[in-house]
A = this chain, B = another copy of it.
Amino acid sequence: MSTEVSITIVGAGSAQFSGGIVRDLCVNPGLHGSHVTLMDIDRHRLAMVARMAERLSEELGAGLSFSQATDRVTALRGADFVLNTAQVGGHSWTEAQRSLAEKHGYYRGAGLHGFGQAAFFLEVARDIARICPNAWLIQSANPVFEGCTLMHRETGIKVLGLCHGHHGYRSIARVLGLDLAHVSAQMPGFNHWIWMTDFRYRGRDAYPLLDEWIETEAEAYWARTDATRTYGDNQMTRAAIHQYRLFGRMPIGDTPRAGGWWYHVDLATKKRWYGHLGGFDSQIGWQQYLDDMSRNVARVERVALDEATPVSETFKPVQSGEQIVPIINALVNDVEGLYQVNIPNQGQIIHGFPEDLVVECQGVVSGAGIRGVSVPPFPPKLVAGAMIPRWHRAELMVQALRSGDRDLLLLYLLDDPRTRSLEQAEALLDEWLADPRNERLARLFI
């Protein structure tokens, strides 16, 4: 038995993302026969991805059908699920915004690209509310925390944010030499700001194993600079362990990557806390990431264009680590399962924060929808030291975009530890809002 659904991918020009989704659909028989609408503003890439997707579905006998759209309204018509993976202005605009902020004294940027992203998410959400109000919006592009909160507050649509960061607990298990099959962990929080509140190995508390590793092996681990250590290895860095001590729970995934501003003041500091590459967000690590991504894009495009080799040799027919398709299957075919989700904090899943804030937690997904699994109260130092200030940042962004009030953009910058004066923040804001590439967003703040 299968249920045929209609899935729209916004930003489908990413061959890797779309290919992965289609592969997951192919290996979930419950969704065979579904229709996928590939939407992107780049017609050329769209055609390439569509052809690849068709070949993959044929190779794997999934009976999927595809259509292409460059227009969002067309793309959303009849959708049951909308996956939003688009990056506004692409990587080049993200990088340009970083450079712009660096000129004003914001080393590695002031995080401004999130505003344009979230504003775009809201446009999509409003279209969904109008065109396919019963659809689920599955948000994977960042900022998931602010974006999902904004969409939830401003529209009535069903919003679900998904991310890979929670897999970070596996890196811990790997470094500790544990058999993953016997490891369990809980990691609630806000997206990219999640904390391992429970960690078990063979049913018993595994935090003592982590503590022992810190005591006896961490220094040797941090001293290594060989090729096995990549920019992506944030999970067991000195920064992560310092955060663990500071807040009382182990930060997971992108949480130690963000860390605190004090790990990021300059490259030397980054190297001290994140290893010889300076972590994901250093000049070194980020460039390696961009290079890796370019290589990956080129590789997948070669696959897409190479009609002589089966696509399924690259997108192998096994379920990926991506939760999107299993969750769709759980919802439409009532296959109950436990996932890591970002959903509104209804019922105070995380105590002490607004019910209309989107939090990351475990969710039971089934035909009945998504029901959050409540989280035991966080330790006070985690709430006071980490959760309230992160909520503050999110609230500034969300309220800025809800209100179109420029003061809130200014307050966002004034809250940035790199801001040394009101004039500095004003100058960055003026230049950023005046940038022609930012015209759509700037119109909100007139």
Contacts and interface: CB of A to CB of B under 8 A. Distances in A.
Given A265-B420, A420-B265, A388 B391 contact: yes
Interface string A379-391: 0110111001101
Contacts of A427: none
Interface stretch (A166-174, A303-311, A400-408): A400-408
Given A265-B420, A352-B354, A422-B262, A411 B388 contact: no
Nearest to A392: B388
A383 B269 CA distance: 34
Contacts of A346: none
Interface string A306-349: 00000000000000000000000000000000000000000000
Among A383, A398, A405, A419, find the residue whose CB has the most chain B CB atoms closer than 10 A: A405
A260 interface: yes
A417 interface: yes
Nearest to A396: B384
Contacts of A388: 388, 391-392, 395
A48 interface: no
A268 B248 CA distance: 41
A393 to B, nearest CB: 10
Given A395-B388, A396-B384, A410 B265 contact: no
Contacts of A421: 262, 265, 269
B407 A246 contact: yes
Contacts of A381: 399, 403, 405, 407-408, 411
Interface residues of A, number: 39
A247 B396 CA distance: 12
A182 interface: no
Contacts of A383: 395, 399
Contacts of A269: 421
A245 interface: yes
A219 interface: no
A392 B395 contact: no
A88 interface: no
Interface in A141-161: none
A408 to B, nearest CB: 6
A381 to B, nearest CB: 6
Among A391, A398, A417, find the residue whose CB has the most chain B CB atoms closer than 10 A: A417
A384 B407 contact: no
Contact of A389 (B262, B263, B392): B392
A415 interface: yes
B246 A410 contact: yes
B396 A385 contact: yes
A422 to B, nearest CB: 4
Contacts of A389: 389, 392, 415
A410 B386 CA distance: 13
18 contacts: A245-B407, A247-B407, A262-B414, A262-B422, A265-B420, A265-B421, A381-B405, A383-B395, A383-B399, A384-B395, A384-B398, A384-B399, A384-B411, A385-B408, A388-B388, A388-B391, A389-B415, A417-B417
Given A381-B399, A385-B396, 5 more contacts: A262-B425, A381-B405, A388-B392, A389-B392, A417-B417
